[in-house]
Amino acid sequence: MQIREADIQDVEDIKNLYLEAFDNSEAELVSNASIADTTSHIGIALTLSYFYNTSNFSMNVEITSASVTDKSVIRQMMELYQYDFSEFTKADLNEHGHFGYPCLDNYWVELNRNPFLIRVNDKLAGFVLVHQNTYFSNSKYHLAEFFILRKYRKQGIGRQVAFNIFDLLRGDWEIYQAHTNLVAKKFWQNVIQEYTAGTYTETVMENDGWNGIVRCFDNTKFPS
């Protein structure tokens, strides 16, 4: 079950859509999803909260549009994210001991950027950054950054967060993975294969802009 951004009008209707969507998920839904309005300059007013069981315990996962007051939180988590990726990017710390992320401020200035925060049991668990400055001319959304804290990985959280972000933003997507990041390549191959039922394209890029795989799909025609 998919959700179009234009359909975000009736809270109860959306709640029912997500309850149906979870019927076929690998996690067992144990209480109602809670969707409430938030305020965002980017026009997305959504807080998605859901409970599910893993093999060990139940978790409440919440995805919210990140406000400008959340920028410092994402900036801090970005350092953890950049640390994880430094193995592949070979990035160095600056003289202040930070990796930095020069374009982060743009997510609260430019209307074509969408920042999200992820919480698990009310604790910060990651973030997602999406923008529309795409490489391919026919693409609409570029998944710029996707970060889940290590303690919450391999529990189905990243998969479900990705599904929900895709459902919220309808259009042609492009998702990049570096050749050297084998874990990310496997994760996104599995997620995109399942989400699209195999209806995606895969392009190998080896140039100055990117050295890796780009997987693309269009979810505008997916069942709603």
State the SS3 of the chain.
CCCCHHHCCCHHHHHHHHHHHHHHCCCEECCCCEEECCCCCCCCCCEEEEEEECCCCEEEEEEEECCHHHHHHHHHHHHHHHHHHHHHHCCCCCCCCCCCCCCHHHHHCCCCEEEEEEEECCEEEEEEEEECCCCCCCCCEEEEEEEECHHHCCCCHHHHHHHHHHHHCCCEEEEEEECCCHHHHHHHHHHHHHHHCCCCEEEEEECCCCEEEEEEEECCCCCC
Domain segments of the chain as ranges:
5-172
Q: Residue 17: what pLDDT?
A: 43
| Alpha-carbon span 181 to 88, nearest angstrom | 7
Q: Residue 48: what pLDDT?
A: 61
15-29, 121-135, 138-152: the lowest-pLDDT one: 15-29
Task: Place 128 in a pLDDT band, splitting at 50, 70 and 90.
Answer: very high
pLDDT above 90 (res 119) = yes
pLDDT above 60 (res 24) = no
Nearest partner of 98 among 115, 117, 116, 75, judged by Cα: 75
Q: Residue 34: what pLDDT?
A: 35
| Inter-residue contact 174 to 202 (CB < 8 Å) | no
Let me know how long the chain is: 224
| 197-217: average pLDDT | 87
Task: Place 102 in a pLDDT band, splitting at 50, 70 and 90.
Answer: confident
User: May I ask the CATH architecture of the domain 5-172?
Assistant: 3-Layer(aba) Sandwich (3.40)
22-26, 68-72, 192-196: the lowest-pLDDT one: 22-26
pTM above 0.85, yes or no: no
Q: Residue 222: what pLDDT?
A: 85
Q: Residue 221: what pLDDT?
A: 84
| Inter-residue contact 62 to 109 (CB < 8 Å) | no
CA distances from 130 to 66, 136, 146 (A): 12, 15, 9
| Inter-residue contact 91 to 82 (CB < 8 Å) | yes
